[in-house]
Amino acid sequence: MTDIALVTGASAGFGIAIVERLIADGYKVVGAARRFEKLQELAKRLGEDFYPLEMDVTDRSSVDKALASLPTSFEPISLLVNNAGLALGLDKAYEADFEDWLTMIETNVIGLAYVTRKLLPDMVKRNHGLIVNLGSTAGTVPYPGANVYGSTKAFVKQFSLNLRADLAGTRIRVSNIEPGLCEGTEFSNVRFKGDDERAEKLYEGAHAIQAKDIAETVSWIASQPEHVNINRIEIMPTSQTFGAQPVYRDL
């Protein structure tokens, strides 16, 4: 029996790369996103093993309706990839737009948690399933301007670990992938609200990791035997590393 995967945020970046890789691995894949026209374009290219699903993870009624509409040929879901997420702005906390904070929390925290809660009971009932969450190095390493974004990714990290604690005694696996600097996605264009020049400068000469690197990581996690759980993987390009903590002095 072919396993079925559901990938959120499937209309761009990591999502497209993950969908393509999982189909190549033999999965049937439900690609969920708000931009249904993008999913339809993807469906034309990927064929019958891909099912486009219009879904907004920040809207619980949208999630309920979308999941209830799945055809039996794309059920049950055995692999959930919680990829939908975003960052908005790099402003200091005392200058940030609170609406941006709310959007990040609603997407990265509430949306991810709700989709998980909807699909997890069936996985437990069947005693079979894998959840792969997309976190970030920002959930561990603080940096100026990452205030709420980094906090949402810290939630994803801890939520993933606590799911594992709740699922003790089952065969349900949970992993968290934590990428660092990654290019070839819409992430920074969204963060900088369409300022493509600013986004391009961020990656200039950085040799950042690519969406396909994340897709390959999802594939590797999913390929592990059922008795192996990969708790978390932190991935950075070799050009990115850690530095000394700054000290500001009154002289």
- SS3 sequence, the chain? CCCEEEEECCCCHHHHHHHHHHHHCCCEEEEEECCHHHHHHHHHHHHHHEEEEECCCCCHHHHHHHHHCCCHHHCCCCEEEECCCCCCCCCCCCCCCHHHHHHHHHHHHHHHHHHHHHHHHHHHHHCCEEEEEECCHHHCCCCCCCHHHHHHHHHHHHHHHHHHHHCCCCCEEEEEEEECCEECCCHHHHHCCCCHHHHHHHHCCCCCEEHHHHHHHHHHHHHCCCCCCCCEEEECCCCCCCCCCCCCCCC
Window from 17-31, 132-146, 177-191, 206-220 with minimum mean pLDDT: 177-191
Strands 209-210 and 182-183: parallel
Determine the pLDDT at residue 188. 63
Confidence of residue 184 (pLDDT cuts 50, 70, 90): confident
Question: How high is the pLDDT of residue 190?
Answer: 65
Residue 38 pLDDT > 90: yes
Round to whole Å and give the CA distance between 125 and 134: 24
Average pLDDT, stretch 142-164?
97
pLDDT of residue 241: 92
Non-local CB neighbours of 89 within 8 Å, separated by 6+ positions = 96, 97, 100, 145, 191, 192, 193
Q: In the predicted model, what is the mean pLDDT of residues 116-144?
A: 97
Contact present, 109 and 155 (Cβ < 8 Å): yes
Give the model's confidence band at 246: pLDDT under 50 very low, under 70 low, under 90 confident, else very high: confident
**149: annotated active-site residue:** yes
Which of 27, 114, 143, 149 is the catalytic position?
149
Query: Which domains does the chain carry?
Result: 4-235 (3.40.50.720)
Q: Give the separation between CA 70 and CA 118, rounded to whole angstroms.
A: 13
Q: What's the predicted TM-score (pTM) here?
A: 0.94
Check residue 41 and give its pLDDT: 96
pLDDT at 213: 96
Q: What is the pLDDT of residue 47?
A: 95
Average pLDDT, the chain: 94
pLDDT at 245: 87
Which residue type does 48 have? E
Does the pLDDT value for residue 187 go beyond 70? no
Query: In the numeric block, which tokens belong to residue 240?
Result: 């990115």
Q: What Rg, from alpha-carbon coordinates, does the chain have?
A: 18
